[in-house]
Amino acid sequence: MQILAPCAGHVIAMRDVDDPVFSEQIVGPGVGIEPLAGPAQILAPADGRLLKVDPHAFILMVDDSVGILVHIGINTVQLHGDGFEVLASRGDSVSAGTPIVAWNPDDIDQPGVSTTVVVAVMDHAPDSVTGAAVGADVAVGDPLFTV
């Protein structure tokens, strides 16, 4: 199953994400994306159903068996939704490329907060994704990795 980039930016290895929950792949394998500056929408990285939608993160269930977590920034839960606009709802069936959250990474300028967008495959073994675009600059909708 192909997972697409939910935003444009530079792809980094999960081990380089500045949060041990992600870098140690406790949530699951995947990648981080250092987003481009300026207002943007975070899009669904695959077809699926939204299990959870918060301003700073959402979980997409793909093929009724694979949960994809898209976490918008590190420690952004501390912002209590400020700077984010939720565009979709829990339970929505969405197609890859559907806008889920709007934000401006330039507005996330607080100590201890990072703009890195994490895309993780929940409950999968570490390093179990293939073809990760680590080191590449991606556009929205470009292939990110395969589960």
The 8-class DSSP code of residue 23 comes to H
Catalytic (active-site) positions: 71
d(CA 33, CA 116): 6
d(CA 63, CA 109): 36
d(CA 89, CA 59): 11
d(CA 46, CA 143): 10
